[in-house]
Amino acid sequence: MLRKFFGAALVLVLVVGMASAETVRGLITAVSDKEITVTPFKGKEKGDETKYDVSDKTKVFKMTGKDTKDDSNLKELKKAVEGSTGKFKGAFATIEVDGKKATEISFRVFKIKPKKDAAE
């Protein structure tokens, strides 16, 4: 009887722990050593800017293909955000968050080539 109770309690703790984590997809517009600023997208709707805390334990990956991730760091992410051009200034990312703390960041930078003038 007691074994069933502890088993059920363990399952409940695991389910609640998993439910508190959330995935946010959006555009990272600013990066510092302590936090990132994200403009989330839900479908084609743009959300309000949100800030998430980052730490040394935050895992950062750069997406190099559809399902391929390379290890990266906040310095590379900051460089990608600052060097972005085009319609959207920033880096598109998928962020795993727990409350207001980012636990994993997977970012991708699209390079848009400027259009050539027709007169040239």
Task: Give 48: exposed, middle or buried? Use CB within 10 Å, 0-12, 13-18, 19+.
Answer: exposed
- CA distances for 86 relative to 62, 67, 115, angstroms: 19, 24, 11
Going by pLDDT thresholds of 50, 70 and 90, the confidence category of residue 103 is very high
Supply 29's token pair. Answer: 């517009």
Supply 84's token pair. Answer: 């972005």
**Domains of the chain by range and CATH?**
22-108 (2.40.50)
User: What pLDDT score was predicted for residue 116?
Assistant: 60
Cα separation, 108 vs 120, in Å, equals: 32
Query: 54-81 pLDDT, tens per residue?
Result: 988 899 998 887 777 888 888 888 888 8
User: What pLDDT score was predicted for residue 101?
Assistant: 93
Cβ-based neighbours of 32, under 8 Å, separated by 6 or more? 78
